[in-house]
Amino acid sequence: MSKTEETENNINLDEFFNNIAKNPFTYNLNLGDDDTEITYDKLFDKVKNIFVQGLLHITDSKNILIDGDKKSVMIDKIPNKDIETVKEYMLSLGIEVVHREYTEEDKDYQIRRLLYCLQDKLKEHVKIDVTMDWVKQLIHKTQITCDKSKLEELNIILRSYPEANYILKLYTPEKVEECHMYYNKADKPNILNVISFKTADIVDYQYKHKYATPFTKHVR
């Protein structure tokens, strides 16, 4: 089981989520093994498990599916307020939960940002086909064909637009920040929800983190 560490004391996830959320960076996170070669996808799964355990503790029982001794979260039923609550707990571990919602217009915008860049940077080396809603003029899908000589440059450009990849799934993630959970809610089927994780930056929480004192909190 994953643990958190505060000074010399260890607490498990049940204790962690049953207490109030503490300031950002309060705990040192121990993911339960000493594997120095842990892959990004395994690391993502470990962080995701902590997040899901938080939801199981926080959310209403109607949002939890029980099968014998096994409990799982129906993520498409979870209200945003519960995600925001678990965010606070994750920040105390130094992990930032990023929850984004994309309307059809948002998705079209992110796709077009990528396609305009490809058109500008690769020009005659790339072929772009799209599927779109003609009436709304919103792009839903795209197919990109590139000359072999430009594949490396294409990969660099694609990875510069991670939000487009949330929608189009054009490349395989290579780091935790590129991995994500995604779902649509029944009452808002056209909105894509995406949840990802990244290491929190302490300067973004200058007045809240555990190291801040009346004398040091203004120092960056």
Say if residue 7 is in the same domain as residue 83.
yes
Question: Would 159 be classed as within a structural domain?
Answer: yes
155-208 pLDDT, tens digit each: 999 999 999 999 999 999 999 999 999 999 989 999 999 999 999 988 887 666
The set of residues, in sequence order, having a beta carbon less than 8 Å from that of 46 and lying 6+ positions away, is 2, 31, 32
Say if residue 7 is in the same domain as residue 88.
yes
Residue 56 belongs to domain spanning: 3-94+200-205
What CATH number has the domain bearing residue 139?
3.30.70
114-159 pLDDT, tens digit each: 999 999 999 999 999 999 999 999 999 999 999 999 999 999 999 9
Say if residue 8 is in the same domain as residue 74.
yes
Say if residue 120 is in the same domain as residue 65.
no
Question: Would 194 be classed as within a structural domain?
Answer: no
What is the predicted pLDDT for the residue at 35? Answer: 58
**Cα→Cα distances 45→37, 151, 174, 175, 176, Å:** 15, 29, 14, 12, 9
Mean residue pLDDT of the chain comes to: 89
Say if residue 28 is in the same domain as residue 56.
yes
Burial of 2 (0-12, 13-18, 19+ CB in 10 A): middle
Global pTM value: 0.84
Question: Would 21 be classed as within a structural domain?
Answer: yes
Cα gap 206→209, rounded to integer Å: 6
Say if residue 73 is in the same domain as residue 151.
no
Say if residue 27 is in the same domain as residue 68.
yes
Say if residue 66 is in the same domain as residue 35.
yes
Question: Would 183 be classed as within a structural domain?
Answer: no
Say if residue 81 is in the same domain as residue 61.
yes
Say if residue 112 is in the same domain as residue 87.
no
Question: Would 218 be classed as within a structural domain?
Answer: no
Question: Would 30 be classed as within a structural domain?
Answer: yes
Within a 13 Å sphere around the CA of 73, how many CA atoms are in the beta-carbon half? Answer: 22
Cα gap 79→185, rounded to integer Å: 10
**Whole-number CA gyration radius for the chain:** 21
Question: Would 25 be classed as within a structural domain?
Answer: yes
Cα gap 38→201, rounded to integer Å: 22
Task: Decide: helix, strand or coil at residue 198.
Answer: strand
Domain count, the chain: 2
DSSP 10-79: EEEHHHHHHSPP--TT-SEEE-S---TT--HHHHHHHHHHHHHHHHHHHS-GGGEEEETTEEEE-GGG--
